[in-house]
Chain A
Amino acid sequence: METINIIYFGVLSEICAKSTEELDFTGTLDELQNLLIQKYPDLASQHFQYSLNQEISSLSDSVKPGDEVALLPPFTGG
Chain B
Amino acid sequence: MEASEYLIQGPLSSAFISGILDKADKKQVGAHAFFLGKIRADKVSDKRVVGIEYSAYDNLVTKAVQIITSSLLRKYDDLTDVQIYHSKGLVKVGEISLIVSVSCGHRKQAFAAMEDCVEQIKANLPVWKKELYDDQSHKWLEK
Tell me if B123 is interfacial: C-beta within 8 Å of chain A: yes
Q: What's the minimum C-beta distance from B116 to chain A, rounded to whole angstroms? A: 14
Select which of A13, A70, A76 is within 8 A of B141 by beta carbon: A76
Tell me if A43 is interfacial: C-beta within 8 Å of chain B: no
B37 to chain A: closest residue by CB: A78
Measured between beta carbons, the chain B residues less than 8 angstroms from A76 are 127-129, 140-143
Measured between beta carbons, the chain B residues less than 8 angstroms from A70 are 57, 60
**Binary CB contact string for chain B from 30 to 43 against chain A (1 if under 8 A, 0 otherwise):** 00000001000000
Contact A51 B60 (CB under 8 A): yes
Contact B57 A9 (CB under 8 A): yes
With A75-B123, A77-B125, A78-B118 already in contact, 18 other A-B pairs whose C-beta atoms are closer than 8 Å: A13-B55, A47-B142, A54-B60, A54-B63, A73-B128, A73-B140, A75-B126, A76-B127, A76-B140, A76-B141, A76-B143, A77-B54, A77-B122, A77-B126, A77-B128, A78-B98, A78-B121, A78-B127
Q: How far is the CA of A7 from the CA of B56 in the complex (A)?
A: 11
Measured between beta carbons, the chain B residues less than 8 angstroms from A10 are 55, 128, 130, 140
Query: Chain B, interface size: which category?
Result: 20 to 34
Q: What's the count of A-B pairs with C-beta under 8 Å?
A: 64
Tell me if A6 is interfacial: C-beta within 8 Å of chain B: no
Tell me if A72 is interfacial: C-beta within 8 Å of chain B: yes
Tell me if A35 is interfacial: C-beta within 8 Å of chain B: no
In the complex, 25 of the A-B residue pairs with CB atoms within 8 angstroms, ordered by the A residue number, are A9-B55, A9-B57, A9-B126, A9-B128, A10-B55, A13-B55, A14-B140, A47-B142, A54-B57, A54-B60, A54-B63, A72-B57, A74-B142, A75-B122, A75-B123, A75-B124, A75-B125, A75-B126, A76-B127, A76-B143, A77-B54, A77-B127, A78-B86, A78-B97, A78-B125
Measured between beta carbons, the chain A residues less than 8 angstroms from B129 are 76-77
